[in-house]
Amino acid sequence: MNMHDNAPVIVVESLTKVFGRFTAVDRVSFDVERGEIFGFLGPNGAGKSTTIRMLCGLLSSSSGTARVNGHDINRDPELVRQNIGYMSQKFSLYKDLTLSENLAFFGGIYGLEGERLRERAAAMIAMAGLQGFEKHLTGTLSGALQQRLALGCAILHEPPILFLDEPTSGVDPVARRLFWDLIHDMAGRGITILITTHFMDEAEFCGRIGFISAGRLIALDTPSGIKRQTDAATLEEAFIKLAKS
């Protein structure tokens, strides 16, 4: 099913996840447009990762639902996974494989082979500025290089939607800035990006942001809109005000 160009590619409706007596995600609703960089912000334990894992078809919802590129996360999780790239906080790379071997491994998972795999791997190495490191063991690379390799692995198969879960924690500010340049470049090519972060300066780079606190979406707007609403000079100040109210 192809989405119309002007229809949202992610539609989240009253999404809820309960673990025992604990409600991790509480009736969250939002849409994300094609080519948008949507930031999902909140403190650790607020429900960001649980929401992303549901949207990636890795976890079913307790109630409510979401559609990702037209596919229902509970009914068609396999189709959801075919339409997305996912990069977790821990950069799920194999440290004892070389950079090239990691690209080949993930390419195989996504069904790429032969010439197509070689072309895509070369494109990812160029995009991420990893030339010259192809034969290096991944575990010996710096955090910043591992981060860019993990991004390359997540978009090898050219997914229309990319989920990034805290992708910049653990890398230095310069590497974070370079990473955001790559993200803006991808959004410019029409890839939709949903990114979770707890770095308020990064939230300024997003088109819109959703603030989540204790499983609930407490604000949803552009960074400047949220600061206006809360009469705050910075997003950090805005978030403190919102979390208290």
**Per-residue pLDDT tens for 146-162?**
988 998 999 999 999 99
pLDDT tens figures, 41-90: 988 889 998 999 999 999 999 999 999 999 999 999 999 998 999 988 77
38 by DSSP, 3-state: which?
Answer: strand
pLDDT of residue 3: 45
pLDDT in tens, 1-28: 444 457 899 999 999 999 999 999 999 9
Does the pLDDT value for residue 103 go beyond 60? yes
pLDDT above 90 for 104? yes
Look at residue 5 in the predicted model and tell me its pLDDT: 59
Residue type, 224: S
Specify whether the CB–CB gap between 27 and 15 falls below 8 A.
Answer: yes
Interior CA angle at 243 toward 43 and 174, to 5°? 40
Instruction: Report the alpha-carbon distance of residue 26 to residue 31 in Å, rounded.
Output: 16
Domain-by-domain residue ranges, the chain?
A: 1-83+160-245, 94-159
Sign of torsion over alpha carbons 181, 186, 190, 194 = negative
Q: What is the pLDDT of residue 1?
A: 42
Quickly list H helices, 110-220: 114-127, 143-154, 173-188, 200-203
Q: What does the pLDDT read at residue 2?
A: 46
Mean pLDDT value across the chain: 91
Give the amino acid at 168.
Answer: T
What burial class does residue 44 get, using C-beta atoms within 10 Å of its C-beta: 0-12 exposed, 13-18 middle, 19+ buried? exposed
Q: Cα separation of 236 and 178, whole Å?
A: 23
- Which H/E stretch holds residue 101? helix 99-109
* Residue 157, token pair as written in the block: 């198969």
User: Using an 8 Å Cβ cutoff, are 69 and 146 in contact?
Assistant: no
Question: Both ends of the chain: CA-CA distance in Å?
Answer: 41
Cβ–Cβ under 8 Å, residues 96 and 137:
yes
222-231 confidence digits (pLDDT tens):
999 999 999 9
CATH 3.40.50.300, domain 1-83+160-245, yes or no? yes
What integer pLDDT is reported at residue 91 of this predicted model?
66
Q: Which residues make Cβ contacts (< 8 Å) with residue 197, sequence separation at least 6?
A: 39, 40, 41, 166, 168, 203
